[in-house]
Amino acid sequence: MSRRAEQSVDDLVGRAREGEARAVARLISLVEDESPLLREVMAALVPHAGNAQVIGITGSPGVGKSTSTNALVTELRKQEKRVGVLAVDPSSPFSGGALLGDRVRMQDHALDRDVYIRSMASRGHLGGLAWATPQALRVLDAAGCDVIIIETVGVGQSEVEIAGLADTTVVLLAPGMGDGIQAAKAGILEVGDIYVINKADRDGADQVRRDLRGMIALGERPDGAWKPRIIKTVAHTGEGVDEVVAELHRHRDHLESTGEMQRRRTRRARDEIEAIAVTTLRAKWGDLHGYDGLDALAEAVVAGDKDPYAAADELVGTVSG
């Protein structure tokens, strides 16, 4: 990279660290656009990252994730924490639409310098969520966020995937949504560090709690392991949200004192390295479509001179070489 580009990346990182929202936005855009500056940006962030507690919020559509995120931000701001929110839509190539509603539900914090809210769509990326989200997390972390909340929009595999990115996973359930069955199906009973029964102002919250408690109790946990608590909240009034925040802090202390934080982060970094490496390889593969050697290999397979595995090995040798 040219000297000028280097200076501007350093400058951007410096301004992001001072809490300038525009600089943070620009850095995340460089991630989303897979900018040629990305490697440089990531290298510049290294000395500043590693402090933030990353919290994943998962749960069925409409369970109250955005409302709860908004309430959590309010509570964390009372403690003067700098907070980042990443709303990730893994299925849509657009950052508008459904995410617009989330913005509205989080608008309490629109003018707060110490709250950074960003919507991200990750479908355009080869590595999807696994690739782009950790890089955006690094930006927010380096920008000085004490806590980063990731909310996924939409359903499916992504809910469990997001748990892989978080230090602490909060699973939201609510009465009247058939959540008991959904929870078991999505495997979120294994990933929850904190369970929240939201919409506790509605009938049936205690029943959901009983069902959930029964299901959690079924899982074996070794001595000294974290025992997830179940907390009832009413997200739009903020009731119970202080308890959730207290539990978030307690979980962070637990992760740090047991070495589990280090283990989770190492596992996450492994996934991240793998996703980047695979993406890099795939990009090289793309270039190989125009590679004459591939035609020659294909002809050899058709002629019966080579089996496809041997041909593929030869090709992989070329790609990695």
Binding site for ligand GTP (CB under 6 A): 59, 61-67, 102, 105, 153, 198-199, 201-202, 234-236
- Output the smallest distance, CB 294 to Mg ion, in A: 45
Which own/partner pairs from 10-17 qualify as long-range (CB within 8 Å, at least 24 positions apart)?
10/44, 12/41, 13/41, 13/44, 13/45, 13/48, 13/142, 16/139, 16/142, 16/143, 17/48, 17/142, 17/143, 17/144
Task: Indicate which of ligand GTP, Mg ion, none lies near residue 125 (CB less than 5 to 8 Å, by partner kind).
Answer: none
Q: Which is nearer to ligand GTP, 67 or 74 (CB)?
A: 67
Q: Which is nearer to ligand GTP, 146 or 201 (CB)?
A: 201
Task: Indicate which of ligand GTP, Mg ion, none lies near residue 176 (CB less than 5 to 8 Å, by partner kind).
Answer: none
Task: Indicate which of ligand GTP, Mg ion, none lies near residue 63 (CB less than 5 to 8 Å, by partner kind).
Answer: ligand GTP
Pair 53, 248: CB distance under 8 Å: yes
Task: Take residue 78 and report the two structure tokens written for it.
Answer: 């009372």
Q: Which is nearer to ligand GTP, 12 or 106 (CB)?
A: 106
Of residues 48-77, those binding Mg ion (CB under 5 A): 65-66
Alpha carbons 311 and 321: distance in angstroms, whole number: 15
Write the DSSP assignment of 113-144 as a string of letters.
TTEEEEEEE-TTSTTHHHHHHHHHHHHHHHTT
List phi, psi (to 5°) of 55: -115, 125
What type of residue is 266? Answer: T
Q: Which is nearer to ligand GTP, 207 or 280 (CB)?
A: 207
Q: Which is nearer to ligand GTP, 89 or 211 (CB)?
A: 89
Task: Indicate which of ligand GTP, Mg ion, none lies near residue 67 (CB less than 5 to 8 Å, by partner kind).
Answer: ligand GTP
Alpha carbons 277 and 97: distance in angstroms, whole number: 32
- Output the smallest distance, CB 162 to ligand GTP, in A: 12
Q: Which is nearer to Mg ion, 117 or 145 (CB)?
A: 117
Q: Which is nearer to ligand GTP, 122 or 198 (CB)?
A: 198
- Output the smallest distance, CB 171 to Mg ion, in A: 15
Q: How many residues bind Mg ion (CB under 5 A)?
A: 3
Task: Indicate which of ligand GTP, Mg ion, none lies near residue 133 (CB less than 5 to 8 Å, by partner kind).
Answer: none
Of residues 76-105, those binding Mg ion (CB under 5 A): 102
Alpha carbons 99 and 187: distance in angstroms, whole number: 25
CB atoms under 10 Å from CB of 237, counted, come to 12
Task: Indicate which of Mg ion, ligand GTP, none lies near residue 144 (CB less than 5 to 8 Å, by partner kind).
Answer: none
Write the DSSP assignment of 230-283 as a string of letters.
EEE-BTTTTBTHHHHHHHHHHHHHHHHHHTHHHHHHHHHHHHHHHHHHHHHHHH
Task: Indicate which of ligand GTP, Mg ion, none lies near residue 22 (CB less than 5 to 8 Å, by partner kind).
Answer: none
3-state secondary structure of 293: helix
Q: Which is nearer to ligand GTP, 75 or 102 (CB)?
A: 102
- Output the smallest distance, CB 198 to ligand GTP, in A: 5
Q: 165: closest CA among 257, 261, 55, 245?
A: 55
- Output the smallest distance, CB 237 to ligand GTP, in A: 7
Residues that bind Mg ion (CB under 5 A): 65-66, 102
